Structure 1
Amino acid sequence: MPAAESASRLAAFRPKLLDTLPGYGRAHFARDVGAGLTVGVVALPLAMAFAIASGLKPEAGLFTAIIAGFLISALGGSRVQIGGPAGAFIVIVYGILERYGLANLIIATAMSGVLLFLMGLFRLGTLIRFIPIAVVIGFTNGIAVLIMLSQVRDFLGLELASVPASFFAMLSALGGALHTVNLAALALSVGTLALLVAWQHAMPRLGPQKLQFSGKLTLIPGTIVALGLATGASELLALPVETIGSRFGGIAASLPAFVWPEFSWSTVRFLLMPALTLALLGAIESLLCARIADGLTEDRHDPNQELMAQGLANFVTPFFGGMPATGTIARTVTNAKSGAVSPVAGMVHALTLLAVVLVAAPLARHIPLAALAAILVYVAWNMGEWREFVQLRQYRMPYRITLLAVFGLTVIVDLTVAVEVGLIAACLTFIYRISSLTRAEAVSAQDQPVLASQDGQVRAWRLYGALFFGAVKLVEDMEHQLPARALVLDLKNLIYVDSSGADTLLDLARHCQKRGVRLILCGLAHQPLDIARRSGLLAALPAADVCPDLAGGLAAATLAVP
């Protein structure tokens, strides 16, 4: 029986794909193929750009989008979510590479996959929603700033061998290389960025009367248009700019091969925190993305199944040359708006990228890195919630401090430290808020006339809120102002009592017994009654001193007064 109960607490492994197959027809397949092809085109430049920004070869991003994208769609808990490399991972992956090397990045990514799978298996998917929005916005905006800073070298065409991961070292290196600005690279990146902004903002405003095919043009991804024009301009004008071919030697037109990294068990323990950071960030990103997808499709995702799929994808992908993967908001929104109805669209997107790698990989060597840098700057800007900084005055001081602290620590120190500090700050704020809502009110003689005849020998209190470790001082203070004969506590309005609260009530009972004061508890019900029973509080009091309501408690208290 215990084994059966334990098994029932585990999440069932049931991909959303199985729920979409009944009634799935030719029309649905046509819509999924169209959406998958569109998303594949959108994902192509982003996958390469994210890999390059992370310090990896461009094919690492493509292999991740192919393998992880296929697995996340086929096994995930959302109908239209698209998985793959994400901008949020750039800073973490770059830091792991610089500190631990490629082999340990593979191990850390695989470890994060195991953690993600276990989180889903043990039904922790819903707990991710309890992470405060201030923490999420703080590190999202911080990551966006770091992504933009990491692209300054290629955006300006600086002659710099590598960009350090730490903030101040990065600023020092970039500042020292500003005299090497490549004007051709700068012009190309500015032109690419301007085209992306114009495509996003100006194109939808052009009506049919101004541009006959404006409706169809808006369906073409701006990143592909900008990348194609930038590559064409670079080749036709023979611009002296770095390309994928000049830095990486191009992209291999072949399937990824299995790679077993060389590592020692002594280094695995140092990878626990990086792996945990990858897992938490991947879980947050994927579940936030899935919630956005739910709003676009009027569907409901399974968070635990989604985490298990993310875990399997992140465990498999790094051994085939990939990088960490998660749900991607931009590609998921594109998928939903392109008419996707099932996870088949995400699988088609992965197959589309596979076809591009096998057929058109040689063309990628001509793509200028300045154009990819401009695309990443554009993505990072759209990724940030910049309006939150303008609207900070509308929020309370704890919210402002948490958001700004997480943002500053993400940029200056480290994402892991930022999330840890943010969660601690949010927890302390929550504890303070809940403790301030817990209060004790003295029952007056006007409210209960029976108290008027006791001449102060009986005192009664009503407790409200939650009696937990942050609010036990309310009960501790009562020990210093005990009445002569009886103390009555009305606990009807307590919604929660933790073990610290129960221990404090027990201490109060012992203190009352030493002073010869009768302690009477009233209105215990639900969770407070359960913990009072389990903690031994009820056993420590006579049955006559546990009453169903305040009136009964006061009536019992009068018997203690001669």
Structure 2
Amino acid sequence: MKPKLFSIIKHREVELTKHQLGNDIIAGIIVAIIALPLSVALAIASGVTPEKGLITAIIAGFLISFLGGSRVQIGGPTGAFVIIVYGIVAQYGVAGLTVATLMAGSFMVFFGLMRFGGIIKYVPYPTTTGFTSGIAIVLLSTQIKDFFGLAIDNVPSEFFGKWKMYIDNISSIDVTTAIVGIISILIIVLWPKIDKRIPGSLVALVIVTVAVKILNLPVDTIGSRFGDISNTIKFVNFKDLDISIPMMKELIRPAITIAFLASIESLLSAVVADGMIGKKHNSNMELIAQGIANIFSALFGGIPATGAIARTAANVKNGGRTPIAGMVHAIVLLLIMILFMPLAKLIPMTTLSAILIIVAYNMSEWRSFKALLKSTKSDIAVLLVTFMLTITFDLVIAIEIGMIIAMFLFVRRMSESTQISNINHYYDNLFYEEDDDDELNESINDGIHIGLKSKIMVYEINGPLFFGAANTFLEIMNEVKNNTNVLILKMKNVPNMDATAFNALRRIEKRCSNEKITLLFTELNEQPLKLLRVSGFVEKIGENSFFDTVEKAVEYADELVIN
């Protein structure tokens, strides 16, 4: 539980050479240039003023690198939060966002301290793809008004309501605004073919802003929308915020969603970065750092932050190998904010929309989405349900229901993997035979001998015995013959047993006792045997009911049948 930067300094790794420090500084500057337009655009799309995006990238970005468990993680605002932040601001205002972000940060610190970093990676891939693709579609839908300059005063918050409003007002498209927006997208898309070192989004921002100013084009800008923009960072004055206990209670669910989403995205980003640099991050320390970063972001008026995959990848590709690169990125953004923020009011809103449309496209993961449609029916169901709920309702409901469906489907799959079968025929030569009477040796119906041999039944259980397989376990008694004297359960391939399965076992034992059937166990593993001992079950039925092998149990059963 030590920040990666501290570990690097303590162990004096070769990474801290002058050459590497130079590379980290250069990478930090480049990432700052990439983060600048994104931070402003994401703040506006989230329903807050532009400078809050930069505050988030500066405060949270610095702390995520300084305290984080990854060498190269770059933190800041991302597109994943736009929808949920916009909803919080619309309903509870900036005060509600501050409270939700503070709570989310606290939850993330708790996740890290409880070492949940390894658990979050088990979130099903169809679930993450479903809500990420859904967020991308919703993010795209929020940019249509500004991109085309539609004359709409109030855009509905609901997805379908938005599109109905857009269609109803299609005739109000501002041609100049639309052309500027299209040119912005073309620059962003085509610029990497000319020079990959400078991000296309920044090039589009500069070129289009200068052109709009020189040509005096009648398009909406940040200045016309928000007026003058602050270039200072101040501690939030909580006396000015109307915070109440009922509000805090209502914001718990959104806060948990922010924490959950930030945890997933930051750890996914860290895993991607590990693959690029051949190192391993500390997931729990990363969660703690992300939590602290979100707390301080909220305290200074910022919005939720997390690890940004695209910016982290850019950091690595430009030579960043230590947390210093992320810290430099935050410092450079601070200098830009102090020196050039007043000029940001000249940026056209349609250009910011163009940047976010590209972000939405990159977030959509349409190739992964398409590939999952060829997967199993259960995976497709989780994918589509999560996707549709994200765009129809909100991210909170989508994640909750998506996870519940995924868990139920997982339980079903696990229960189907637990097989219980009669294996009498494998031990035919061990069964006691009273004489050579053909009637006694008559063979079988479904692998079960009749006559004296049917008095001993052997069942093998393969797979975990848990609540999902409990009913299957109970079905053993439905197959037991009326003249059965001994029931043997082979449990070599049962790695564990839970309370529900144990309750089913007690019911089997009770029925065996009522019907005068001796119940024997063979080859129990450590966890099931420990559970049976602690519960007093072993003491109840006797140590002599447990055997190391099926052969010994059958021999013992033969003696019981004979006597």
Q: Same fold (TM over 0.5)?
A: yes
2:375 maps to which residue? 395
Deviates most, 14-23 or 457-466? 14-23
Contact 1:16 1:343 in 2 (8 A): yes
Given residue 121 of structure 2, which amino acid in structure 1 is its aligned partner?
R
Q: Distance in 2 between matches of 1:93 and 1:515?
A: 64
Aligned residues: 536
Task: Tell me, yes or no, if structure 1 residue 105 matches structure 2 residue 97.
Answer: yes
Q: Distance in 1 between matches of 2:318 and 2:288?
A: 26
1:446, distance to aligned residue in structure 2 (A): 4.7
1:209 maps to which residue? none
2:22 maps to which residue? 30
SS of 2:69's partner is coil
Contact 1:445 1:451 in 2 (8 A): no
Contact 1:502 1:535 in 2 (8 A): no
1:512 maps to which residue? 512
Q: Distance in 2 between matches of 1:223 and 1:447?
A: 73
Given residue 164 of structure 1, which amino acid in structure 2 is its aligned partner?
P
Contact 2:130 2:369 in 1 (8 A): no
Deviation string 1:432-481 (CA, Å, 9 cap, x unpaired) is 11111111121133544223633311111111011111111222112233
1:254, distance to aligned residue in structure 2 (A): 2.2
2:559 maps to which residue? 559
Among residues 8, 13, 17, which one is paired with 2:5 in the alignment?
A: 17
1:384-463 correspondence to structure 2 within 5 Å: 384-451=364-431, 453=433, 454-463=452-461
Among residues 129, 134, 137, which one is paired with 1:142 in the alignment?
A: 134
Among residues 255, 262, 273, which one is paired with 1:275 in the alignment?
A: 255
1:7 maps to which residue? none
Contact 2:233 2:300 in 1 (8 A): no
1:27-426 correspondence to structure 2 within 5 Å: 27-200=19-192, 203=193, 217-260=195-238, 261-426=241-406
Q: Distance in 2 between matches of 1:253 and 1:294?
A: 35
Contact 1:544 1:556 in 2 (8 A): no
Q: Distance in 2 between matches of 1:297 and 1:163?
A: 44
Given residue 465 of structure 2, which amino acid in structure 1 is its aligned partner?
L
Contact 2:126 2:372 in 1 (8 A): no
Q: Distance in 2 between matches of 1:253 and 1:502?
A: 64
Deviation string 1:395-429 (CA, Å, 9 cap, x unpaired) is 11001111011101100111111111111111111
Deviation string 1:110-162 (CA, Å, 9 cap, x unpaired) is 00000000000010011111100000000000000001000001100112223
Q: Distance in 2 between matches of 1:560 and 1:293?
A: 65
Task: Tell me, yes or no, if structure 1 residue 492 matches structure 2 residue 492.
Answer: yes
Given residue 34 of structure 2, which amino acid in structure 1 is its aligned partner?
V
TM score, norm. by length of structure 1: 0.93
Deviates most, 542-551 or 246-255? 246-255
1:537, distance to aligned residue in structure 2 (A): 2.3
Aligned-pair identity (%): 38
Deviates most, 19-28 or 521-530? 19-28
Q: 1:393 to 1:46 in 2, by over 3 A?
A: closer
Q: 1:497 to 1:439 in 2, by over 3 A?
A: same
Q: Distance in 2 between matches of 1:448 and 1:193?
A: 76
Contact 1:451 1:459 in 2 (8 A): no
2:544 maps to which residue? 544
1:393, distance to aligned residue in structure 2 (A): 4.6
Q: Distance in 1 between matches of 2:410 and 2:465?
A: 14
Q: Distance in 2 between matches of 1:194 and 1:311?
A: 37
Given residue 474 of structure 1, which amino acid in structure 2 is its aligned partner?
T
1:256, distance to aligned residue in structure 2 (A): 3.0
Q: Distance in 2 between matches of 1:325 and 1:455?
A: 69
Q: Distance in 1 between matches of 2:272 and 2:425?
A: 56
SS of 1:445's partner is helix
Given residue 99 of structure 2, which amino acid in structure 1 is its aligned partner?
I
Q: Distance in 1 between matches of 2:187 and 2:325?
A: 28
1:100, distance to aligned residue in structure 2 (A): 1.6
Contact 1:76 1:309 in 2 (8 A): yes
SS of 2:459's partner is strand
1:89, distance to aligned residue in structure 2 (A): 0.1
Q: Distance in 1 between matches of 2:273 and 2:506?
A: 50
Q: 1:330 to 1:446 in 2, by over 3 A?
A: closer
Contact 1:138 1:403 in 2 (8 A): yes
Q: Distance in 2 between matches of 1:115 and 1:389?
A: 30
Contact 1:77 1:304 in 2 (8 A): yes
Q: Distance in 2 between matches of 1:154 and 1:241?
A: 10
Q: Distance in 2 between matches of 1:399 and 1:329?
A: 25
Deviates most, 92-101 or 173-182? 173-182
2:528 maps to which residue? 528
Deviation string 1:479-530 (CA, Å, 9 cap, x unpaired) is 2333421101101111221111111111111111111110001111222222
SS of 1:462's partner is strand
Given residue 504 of structure 2, which amino acid in structure 1 is its aligned partner?
T
Q: Distance in 1 between matches of 2:515 and 2:497?
A: 25
Given residue 223 of structure 2, which amino acid in structure 1 is its aligned partner?
G
Contact 1:492 1:549 in 2 (8 A): no
* Runs of at least 5 residues in structure 1 that lack an aligned partner in the other structure: 1-11, 204-213
1:555, distance to aligned residue in structure 2 (A): 1.2
Given residue 103 of structure 2, which amino acid in structure 1 is its aligned partner?
M
Q: Distance in 1 between matches of 2:49 and 2:248?
A: 24
Q: Distance in 2 between matches of 1:459 and 1:341?
A: 64
Contact 1:141 1:384 in 2 (8 A): yes
Q: Distance in 2 between matches of 1:130 and 1:448?
A: 45
Q: Distance in 2 between matches of 1:463 and 1:172?
A: 57
Given residue 418 of structure 2, which amino acid in structure 1 is its aligned partner?
T
Deviates most, 303-312 or 552-561? 552-561
Root-mean-square deviation (CA, aligned residues, Å) is 1.3
